[in-house]
Amino acid sequence: MQAIIEYRYWILIPLSLIEGPIVAFFAGTLASLGYFNIFLLGAFFLVRDIAVDLFCYYVGFAGARTRWITKVLRKLGVTDAHLKEARALWNNNPGKTLFISKLSYGVAAGFIVVAGLIKMDVMKFIAYGLAITVMHYGTLLVLGYFFGNAFGGSIAGILENIPYVVGGLSVLAIAYLFFRRSMSRQLTRAK
């Protein structure tokens, strides 16, 4: 928290690459205290998420042509039938598949690489990705903003209520992780 206050937007770049959703919530909380502009945060997290998604997509898209990736997929037991099933999943339900994969904790990048691997239409991928990112990070920023306002609208107010802040953030983080795990399981069952 201290690093975010001191370095503001610059520290968000590496922190958001490590764990974007939690950093977005904290940044939204600090926006309510005047340390950030909520609209600049929204633009930052939108650009960050789309850039990361396009990088993962490109890794799959470009990697599909290499012999090394083909060899690795074979060693992992991924067959043409598996890729055909993944292609059907991405083509038949692109929005739902991307939504569940972006919220799947720990495996989101892998699912997005698969979207590139099967050569999903990039414009469709970007359109769904934008909508999901606006909803996902918009919700986290707004929740963080209102959370910050709920505790006095100042750092002193938050520090006085630190046990409640830590407890509330812990509950939100745990709920978020369980939600992402649930989405991951649903995607696995859908496959």
Q: Is 132 helix (H, G, I), strand (E, B) or coil?
A: helix
State residue 131's pLDDT score.
Answer: 92
Q: Burial, 58: exposed, middle or buried (Cβ in 10 Å; 0-12, 13-18, 19+)?
A: middle
Task: Take residue 84 and report the two structure tokens written for it.
Answer: 């055909």
The predicted structure's pLDDT at residue 84: 83
Single pTM value for the model: 0.71
Ordered mean pLDDT values, 10 residues apiece, the chain (191 residues):
73 82 85 86 92 89 78 73 80 84 77 84 90 91 84 60 72 84 78 65
pLDDT at 88: 83
Pull the structure tokens for residue 33: 């205290």
Supply the DSSP symbol for 76. Answer: T
pLDDT of residue 134: 92
Distances (CA, A) of 102 to 77, 144, 184: 24, 20, 9
* pLDDT for 138: 92
CB 61, CB 116: distance < 8 Å: yes
